[in-house]
Chain A
Amino acid sequence: MTRAAYIGIDAGSSATKCVVIDPAARLLAHAVMPSGFDYGEAAERALAIALDRAGLTPDAIAHCVSTGYGRDRVVAADRHVTEVTCHARGAREWYPQVRSIIDIGGQDTKVIWLNAHGRLADYRMNAKCAAGTGTFLESIALKLGVTLRKIDELALTSTARTVMNSYCTVFTGTEVIERIKAGEPRQDISMGLFRSIAARVFEMLASRDGPVAATGGVVAHCRALVRALEEVLETKVLLPPLPQHAGAYGAALLAREASLTATAPRQHAAGEPLRTELE
């Protein structure tokens, strides 16, 4: 079989995503599953499902790049690249004009800037704290005994300007309980949670030149967060067709580019360093 599939695997802290593209950079298939306890196993399963959906076998893999928190656990990967570069690459493929990318994942929030040529110009990651990440929302949802989807649905019906007084997951949890006791509408409290994340992003976003895109699992499932981001940034936020898969898509594109520029795909010189060619 011709090795004609380029694979990107994003072994994220919450979910593992896999994207398969062909030599023309067409997206053939994608898959997502919980990362669970074993990033390596989740990656293998996501890869198997994505290949199956694409009607391919592992023999078809020309090159594979892994990214995400568990990137070094992905046995199938030829190399690994950080989420910063992969999300930038994925978002740029969807929106070549994009200059700022906000990636809100389970554990990290990142803001990434590209220069006019589409190269990684700068980025920020959140500090060691769950504030402003998917974990923040999951934790509050758990406390309230509702799903994330329900919080999103409620928030989208809010018309109030409710803002939380804390970024901290623990303190916000307490504040939510206080607001419920005070009789505040649930939809307004829910929207306040998304504004809390958006405010954290605002702090990280030193420059707001050019179009802004949002990626990651949280924006994929919570349109209220996109609304909160647009409110605070006072600009339209582009949402790609597969926001949660942007990192895996970027990784697949990097796999394709690395493979096409290499003389011998899937062969590396001993001790070769991490390489992240974008072009």
Chain B
Amino acid sequence: MTRKRIGPPHDWGGSDPGRLRHCRKGFRMSGQAKQETPARGRPTRVEIAAQHRLRELLREYFLDLDAAAKDPRRRVAWCTSVGPCEILVAMGFATAFPENHGALLGVRRLSHRFIPYAVSAGYCAESCSYMNADIGAALAGQSPLRDSYGIDGPPRPDLLVYSTNQCREVQDWFSFFGRRHGVPVLGVRPPRQLGAVTAAHVAFVRGELLRLIEQIEAHFGLKLDMGRLEETVALSSRASALWREVLETARARPAPFSFWDGVIHMAPVILLRGSPAAVAYYELLLAEMRQRVREGVGAVPGERFRIYWEGMPVWPRIRELSEKFFELRAAVVASTYCNSWAFEPYAGGDPLEWMARTSIEIFINRDEPTKEAFLVELFERFGVDGVIFHNARTCPNNSNSRFGMPARLREQRGLPVLVIDGDLSDQRFFSTAQTLTNVEAFCEQLEQIQAGPQPRLPANPRAATAANVAGGPA
């Protein structure tokens, strides 16, 4: 039996020779009975029906971007993933998100081929691998979008707009492409690492947004229609709220939806933010997830463990990781990453104020105590058994294991915590075998915790001591 391939709207790239090798030799996969063929008796994943619509939606999106870049009457803007895209959408720009291209390069296991181009151009090999892979792919003149959608690659931009609410790297990343294409690079630089978000913070960022609007208007001879911005923000907020509700369905046991689904199905809330299409998509997905909850359908049949994933996905190894978790019947029920686009709702009023507030309230822009409190609340709400921190070697801004948080969670909350080393896009920083063993051992730890405390084993008088060891050299 061939296991049905589920999931990604685009090819996750690359075969898995290790897996095939096992199957050819007839070796068992983890936990399987010796008498069984490799796939027999394994629970199968239940496909998310909405993914077919997602695939169409993404095709339409990328083809439209390509068409916009080729149409002299239309303009293309690049924006950071939690940047002020509503302004760009409201002003009629077709909006592209380079981080999506960075992730795609990772998923297709192409990053390590292109990063050397960026390094040879002067970018540090340990800087953001999204940035390096994207710059490298541009220098190499290649893109996985060609295979997926028949387009040359990311659309040529007329404008690049970043917000450093997530990191400073995006500014340098966009600056490269601004120089390359000879187009303006504009940015919003909010206050960083905030504890409480104050009115002064919001007012400052609102001012930055107004300045950004003025710059765009002046450069392109456009005028922002505030009514249109309100509509765009309302749509953006609606899609975000629906996305949050989708994520919330994973509070159910079994969780109908996992992190591995989330990293795929979150695409519209980033790429199509501010569009009716994103709202319609999440209505569809939410209805399906709620039906799963009613019917008791889990993303992981026979869910044994509920895990929280902190940090970025390991895009190049996402298939191996998701299969390992599935095999261990561990559901990754919540994550910081998927929650990054679950903004507070817009209740009318000044859309710029909502944009300013949401852009600095996001997790990545907060201080360590605020992040920790946010995580603990999620751990409790989703009833997680353990937490996995991904220390992404080239993404310090999205790696929260570096200042003692895992140790504090272990000590103060008694939570089992595992830190794995890896990267979001550069697979050279990731050891698959080592990490899968680590994940497996973590589930063994959780299993023993679930089994409860046991009386200490009496000393075995016949234990292998130096006196009774026999049968071969040490």
Cα A178 to Cα B468 in complex, Å, equals 47
Partner of B464, one of A27, A122, A276, A277: A27
Cα A125 to Cα B447 in complex, Å, equals 19
User: Contacts of B42 on A, CB cut-off 8 Å?
Assistant: 271
Q: Is A73 an interface residue (CB 8 A)?
A: yes
A126 CB to closest chain B CB, in angstroms? 8
Partner of A242, one of B40, B431, B474: B474
B242 CB to closest chain A CB, in angstroms? 34
Partner of B468, one of A26, A107, A240: A26
Whether B463 lies near A25 (C-beta < 8 A) is yes
Partner of B421, one of A128, A206, A240: A128
Whether B444 lies near A84 (C-beta < 8 A) is yes
Q: Is B381 an interface residue (CB 8 A)?
A: no
Whether A117 lies near B453 (C-beta < 8 A) is yes
Whether B468 lies near A27 (C-beta < 8 A) is yes
Number of chain B interface residues as a range: 35 or more
Whether B33 lies near A272 (C-beta < 8 A) is yes
Q: How many A-B contacts are there with CB distance less than 8 Å?
A: 171
Q: A72-B22, A119-B453, A125-B434 are in contact. Are A27 and B469 (CB under 8 A)?
A: yes
Whether A85 lies near B27 (C-beta < 8 A) is no
Binds B, one of A48-56, A140-148, A159-167: A48-56
Whether B328 lies near A274 (C-beta < 8 A) is yes
Whether A278 lies near B448 (C-beta < 8 A) is yes
Whether A274 lies near B473 (C-beta < 8 A) is no
Whether B437 lies near A83 (C-beta < 8 A) is yes
Q: Is A241 an interface residue (CB 8 A)?
A: yes
Q: Is B36 an interface residue (CB 8 A)?
A: yes
Cα A279 to Cα B457 in complex, Å, equals 8
The proximity string for A residues 118-157 relative to B, scoring 1 for CB distances below 8 Å and 0 otherwise, is: 1111110101100000000000000000000000000000
B471 nearest in chain A by CB position: A29
Whether A94 lies near B453 (C-beta < 8 A) is no
User: Contacts of A54 on B, CB cut-off 8 Å?
Assistant: 471
Cα A77 to Cα B31 in complex, Å, equals 10
B79 CB to closest chain A CB, in angstroms? 33
Q: Is A32 an interface residue (CB 8 A)?
A: yes
Cα A31 to Cα B304 in complex, Å, equals 36
Cα A273 to Cα B36 in complex, Å, equals 13
Whether B441 lies near A84 (C-beta < 8 A) is yes
Whether A96 lies near B458 (C-beta < 8 A) is yes
A125 nearest in chain B by CB position: B438
Whether A276 lies near B453 (C-beta < 8 A) is no
User: Contacts of B72 on A, CB cut-off 8 Å?
Assistant: none
Cα A120 to Cα B441 in complex, Å, equals 10
Whether A85 lies near B430 (C-beta < 8 A) is no
Whether B329 lies near A120 (C-beta < 8 A) is no
Q: Is B14 an interface residue (CB 8 A)?
A: no
Whether B444 lies near A128 (C-beta < 8 A) is no
Whether A27 lies near B471 (C-beta < 8 A) is yes
Partner of A27, one of B329, B421, B470: B470
Q: A27-B469, A242-B469, A268-B34 are in contact. Are A117 and B464 (CB under 8 A)?
A: no
B453 CB to closest chain A CB, in angstroms? 5
Cα A80 to Cα B465 in complex, Å, equals 25
A230 CB to closest chain B CB, in angstroms? 19
A265 CB to closest chain B CB, in angstroms? 12
B380 CB to closest chain A CB, in angstroms? 21
Main secondary structure of the interface of A (DSSP, over half): loop
Whether A117 lies near B473 (C-beta < 8 A) is no
Q: Is A93 an interface residue (CB 8 A)?
A: yes
Q: Using a CB-CB cutoff of 8 Å, which residues 428-474 of chain B contact chain A? A: 429-431, 433-434, 437-438, 440-441, 443-445, 447-449, 451, 453-460, 462-466, 468-474
Chain A contact residue count (CB 8 A cutoff): 68
A77 CB to closest chain B CB, in angstroms? 8
Q: A116-B456, A123-B445 are in contact. Are A72 and B329 (CB under 8 A)?
A: no
Whether A117 lies near B454 (C-beta < 8 A) is yes
Most chain A beta-carbon contacts within 10 A, residue among B421, B457, B473:
B457
Cα A49 to Cα B473 in complex, Å, equals 12
Q: Is B30 an interface residue (CB 8 A)?
A: yes
User: Contacts of A4 on B, CB cut-off 8 Å?
Assistant: none
Cα A267 to Cα B431 in complex, Å, equals 33
Whether A206 lies near B43 (C-beta < 8 A) is no
Q: A84-B444, A93-B463 are in contact. Are A273 and B456 (CB under 8 A)?
A: no
Whether B464 lies near A93 (C-beta < 8 A) is yes
Q: Is B32 an interface residue (CB 8 A)?
A: yes
Whether B33 lies near A267 (C-beta < 8 A) is yes
Partner of A115, one of B328, B429, B438, B453: B453
Whether A24 lies near B448 (C-beta < 8 A) is no
The proximity string for B residues 21-56 relative to A, scoring 1 for CB distances below 8 Å and 0 otherwise, is: 010010111111111100011110000000000000
Q: Using a CB-CB cutoff of 8 Å, which residues 53-95 of chain A contact chain B? A: 53-54, 69, 72-73, 75, 77-85, 92-94
User: Contacts of A81 on B, CB cut-off 8 Å?
Assistant: 444
Q: Is A10 an interface residue (CB 8 A)?
A: no
Q: Is B178 an interface residue (CB 8 A)?
A: no
Cα A84 to Cα B29 in complex, Å, equals 19
Cα A173 to Cα B431 in complex, Å, equals 23
Q: Is A45 an interface residue (CB 8 A)?
A: no
Partner of B27, one of A26, A73, A120: A73
User: Contacts of B8 on A, CB cut-off 8 Å?
Assistant: none
Cα A27 to Cα B41 in complex, Å, equals 35
Cα A122 to Cα B407 in complex, Å, equals 11
A residues whose Cβ falls under 8 Å from a Cβ of B: 20, 24-32, 40, 49-50, 53-54, 69, 72-73, 75, 77-85, 92-94, 96, 107-108, 115-123, 125, 127-128, 206, 220, 240-242, 244-245, 249, 266-279
Inter-chain pairs besides A27-B464, A72-B27, A125-B437, 9 sampled, C-beta below 8 Å: A96-B460, A115-B453, A122-B445, A128-B430, A241-B474, A244-B474, A268-B34, A270-B36, A278-B454
> What are 14 contact pairs spanning A and B, CB under 8 A?
A27-B463, A28-B471, A84-B441, A96-B456, A96-B458, A108-B434, A117-B455, A125-B438, A128-B422, A128-B429, A268-B33, A268-B34, A274-B327, A279-B451
B residues whose Cβ falls under 8 Å from a Cβ of A: 22, 25, 27-36, 40-43, 302, 304, 327-329, 407, 410, 416, 421-422, 429-431, 433-434, 437-438, 440-441, 443-445, 447-449, 451, 453-460, 462-466, 468-474
